[in-house]
Structure 1
Amino acid sequence: MDNLTPPPLTVLDKYHGPDFQGLYTGTVRVTGGDAKHGRASGVVRSDDGNLELDLRLPEALGGPGGGTNPEQLIAAGYAACFHGALTLIAARNNIPLVNAVVDASVTFGRDPVDGMYMLSADIRIQLPGVDRAIAEQLVRSTERVCPYAKMARQGMVNVVALHVEPHSAGGIDPG
């Protein structure tokens, strides 16, 4: 296995430019599976083949469970990104972190504004051995840097582009 290392602290350097500067795009395709419904029986596959998961409606929503769901995927991304940003900020400030933990819970529920659905997130951070005041400052700083925290707080700054493509469009093999 490759020797895995965190990214360099230079990833925290500020960008100065007039427009969004894309650095990496993760692409997945969801197909409907047996129930012809992505959330209930779908399969999610990444274009590079590193992610392939069965999607299932959780038991709490009347489904059979037995697979992952969008809320778990968002929680995983949020926790991983927040943990990474937290670790970099601590390193930049010479604050040693030992066994730092980020737990993320994403809840699917009813939106009281329009009566439809929305998500809420609860992020819990454990920084053993770090003074509480320093830990709180690290978390506040991380909230300003972590793209998932920014998205949760501000929404997506760039408009999400929705395109209806012809059936013959290339991309990820639907399998």
Structure 2
Amino acid sequence: MGREGAASRVGMLFQHGALFSAFNVLDNVAFALREQGTLPPEVVRDAALVKLQMVGLKPEHATRMPADLSGGMVKRVALARALIMDPPLLLLDEPTAGLDPSSADDFVALLRELHAALGLTVVMVTHDLDTLFALSTRVAVLADRKVIVTGSPREVTHYPHPFIEHFFLGERGQRAMAPVDTAVTAKET
């Protein structure tokens, strides 16, 4: 398969959105589909509006410029753009970076809903333990310039390594795991 085929099968959400500053929201979302040149402009526009709706944005947001958006809205527009080609694989680079806790929780809930509704495979890079425990079914931990362990979030926390102990089992990690521990206990009873 050629490059075009691969590009249409992978959506990418960049850490800071990477929106085109000279394009409004609609044009940012529609960009890849429009560049393909195979669909009429009104179909591209309608598809972009559907993706905006999928990520919780209203049609009136379509004419706004990236500089006029909040951080959470930038993430949502960038997510809509990543989904415009209906990719089966979605790559996320620090999806909640720069968001306040409430916006991060909302974005995690949106990602969970889209994952379930669209049947996407999602690969995420994150240092946010709350996001990791909320969304991940498998984790690969990178340390010492290599993957040191893979498994469920719970399994990797039991791997004996100084990085694991510091990152996952420190105070911050314990707070992030608390909801997971509660859910596991509830399932076991």
Q: Normalising by the residue count of structure 1, what TM-score does the alignment of the two structures yield?
A: 0.27
Q: Normalising by the residue count of structure 2, what TM-score does the alignment of the two structures yield?
A: 0.25
Higher relative contact order (CA 8 A, sep 6+): 2
Higher fraction of helix = 2
Higher fraction of strand = 1
